[in-house]
Amino acid sequence: MSMSDKPLISADEIERRVAGLAREIGADFTGDAELVLVVVLKGALIFAADLMRALDLPVSVEFIQAESYTGKGSTGDVNLLHLPKARLAGKDVLLVEDILDTGRTASELLSWLNSQEPARLLLVTLLDKPAKRIAPISPDYAGFEIPDCFVVGYGLDHDQKHRQLPDIWAL
């Protein structure tokens, strides 16, 4: 697979949009309550690191990891590999995702998080690829809507490579 000759989304565009998302989120979470960012490993790592520094709010950070079976004979099942250890009951929780494609992963993560009885549960995704959405979910905050292509960079990988690229590229 080869990369396009210019990025789909440049580092500058990402930086401006992340600041915009932080303002949107900040406007919805006012007051002293701490916001728990539940970051989806591994892809949302870089987005979350930038977003939390742009948020003018008290936050804490937890991680969650899921594995989806998309191979041959796929049922679209999602396996939860790592769960937050902190108690989320009664907390304001924001699930931080890199990309929403079919929506199955986020949907499973949201249903697990809901079972922990948070006071509020919202979803932010850097990228939204609505073309192949199957699960009936839509993000509360989305950075960029993109067409149905495979992207890497800014945390997103192809076979664990390219996560460190500052821009987002279509393969």
State which amino acid sits at residue 152.
Answer: V
What residue 108 binds from Mg ion, ligand 5GP, none (CB within 5 to 8 A, per partner kind)? Answer: none
What residue 157 binds from Mg ion, ligand 5GP, none (CB within 5 to 8 A, per partner kind)? Answer: ligand 5GP
By C-alpha distance, which of 125, 122, 120 is closest to 40?
125
The DSSP H or E segment spanning 51 is helix 45-54
Q: Of the residues 101, 140, 148, 157, which is catalytic?
A: 101
The conformation of residue 73, written as its DSSP 8-state character, comes to T
What residue 104 binds from ligand 5GP, Mg ion, none (CB within 5 to 8 A, per partner kind)? Answer: ligand 5GP
Instruction: Select from 50-58, 79-87, 110-118, 150-158 the region that touches ligand 5GP (CB under 6 A).
Output: 150-158
Binding status of residue 150 toward ligand 5GP by CB under 6 A: yes
The conformation of residue 162, written as its DSSP 8-state character, comes to S
For Mg ion, the closer CB: 43 or 103: 43
By C-alpha distance, which of 24, 10, 13 is closest to 54?
24
Return residues touching Mg ion (CB under 5 A).
43
Out of 11, 26, 83, 102, which residue is the one contacting ligand 5GP (CB under 6 A)?
Answer: 102
Q: Is 101 noted as a catalytic residue in this protein?
A: yes
DSSP letter for each residue of 2-19: ---SS-SB-HHHHHHHHH
Out of 50, 62, 92, 101, which residue is the one contacting ligand 5GP (CB under 6 A)?
Answer: 101
Secondary structure string (H, E, C) spanning 22-46 = HHHHHHHCCCCCCEEEEEEECCCHH
What residues numbered 103-132 form the site for ligand 5GP, per CB under 6 A?
A: 103-106
Which residue do the tokens 């990891």 mark? 65
The CA-CA-CA angle for residues 106, 112, 118, to 5°, reads: 105
Binding status of residue 9 toward ligand 5GP by CB under 6 A: no
Name the residues that contact ligand 5GP, by CB under 6 A. 43, 68, 98-106, 150-152, 156-158
